[in-house]
Amino acid sequence: MSEPKFVPNTVYVTYIANTPEKVWEALTSAEFTRQYFFGGSVEIEQKVGGSFLMRMPDGRVHIKGKVVECDPPRRLAVTWDVVGMKDFSELPECLVTYDIEPMGGSVKLTMTEAHQWDIPDVILAGGRQGWPFILSSLKSVLETGKPIVMTVKMGPPREMIEAVKEAVAKKPWLR
Amino acid sequence: MNEPKFVYVTYIATTPEKLWQSLTDGAFTERYWFGTRIESDWTLGSAVTFMRNDAVYDSGQVLECDPPRRLSYTWSVKSHEEFRGERPSRVTFEIETMTSPGGKKTEVKLTVTHDDFDVGSKVLAAVSGGWPVVLASLKSFLETGDALEIAGVAALKAAKERALAAARGAAA
């Protein structure tokens, strides 16, 4: 049985004036994710094979996955399935990896979003829009105690929704 | 069309005016841009100089200047032997104000696009490593008053060297 091959398509790097341990905590505890991850609370079993999910304020599970790598406070990788949205839930799960590197008085945080299929740019657009906001806000929480104010109406762009519907109809990843 | 370019988006708790000043006033750039002082009068066609320790190391020309929304200039890198053969690239800063509920403008979205490169550009490889460092430092400077401490300029240089080595490795 072959392992799925995840190809990195979106990478976002930021540097945060805090410790690797604090960055790890911000990524894995609901008290933090609620502030910067669109109100979502993370629930994670910190071990390989452990469960991972992101629960919205109304209690719905929006994202679900499994822990693939867990090396605190250096590296965390989880599979990522957007179960909370119609059509999006039918796309193959992707892999989100966080790399945390100490750099003197700061930490370099690299988020990599990788996919198992030849995912078109119009669908990658969602992550490319969302991650800079999420990680900018995480940085602000860890440096100032305050998240970036959520004034932007951040849903998937219309073209992305159309492209997801089309992909789910054709299922190119099954070929 | 996959033209070689680097794009970076960040959200900063500041005003468009403060961000604009940080990008265009050498007294500010020096504080977060690891000692780099930018000088220009910011009129179209004017020279832009990048200085460190009173020595000019890179230069460019103003292409667009629409404060506090949009700034663009060319960038000619002379600091490394292997960059000197490349034609000038282009940097564009777009500042979008995000209005909070109640109308108070407290956050900005900054999009930096560095483009106009030839395929295989070593400058692109280097700035792709360097921009996140500089822009993270800018964000920290505006939000906390302190630029990032990334073991001083050494970390920035190291990021550039790693990116260069990766580009060499990729080209080999």
- Reported as a single tens digit per residue, the pLDDT across B21-78 is 999 999 999 999 989 999 999 999 999 999 998 888 899 999 999 999 999 999 999 8
Number of domain units in chain B: 1
**What class is the A7-174 domain?**
alpha beta
The answer to whether the CB atoms of B143 and A149 lie below 8 A apart is no
Q: Which residue has the tokens 């604090």?
A: A22
Q: Residue B12: pLDDT above 90?
A: yes
Question: Strand, helix or coil at A58?
Answer: coil
Contacts of B166 in chain A (CB under 8 A): none
For residue B53, what pLDDT is reported? 87
pLDDT category, A105, cuts 50, 70, 90?
Answer: confident
For residue A6, what pLDDT is reported? 96
By the 8 A CB rule, do A122 and A33 touch? no
Encode pLDDT of A36-68 as tens digits: 999 999 999 999 999 999 999 999 999 999 999
Peptide bond into B68 cis (omega under 30): yes
**Among B100, B136, B151, beta carbon nearest to A14:** B136
- Structure ipTM over 0.90, yes or no: yes
Q: Which long-range contacts (CB under 8 A, 24 or more apart) does A79-86 make?
A: A79/A52, A80/A113, A84/A56, A84/A60, A85/A156
B93: left (phi over 0), alpha (psi -120 to 50) or beta: beta
The answer to whether the CB atoms of B136 and A105 lie below 8 A apart is no
CATH number at B30 reads: 3.30.530.20
- pTM as predicted: 0.92
The reply to whether B106 touches chain A by the CB within 8 Å rule is: yes
For residue A2, what pLDDT is reported? 61
Residue B126 located in a structural domain: yes
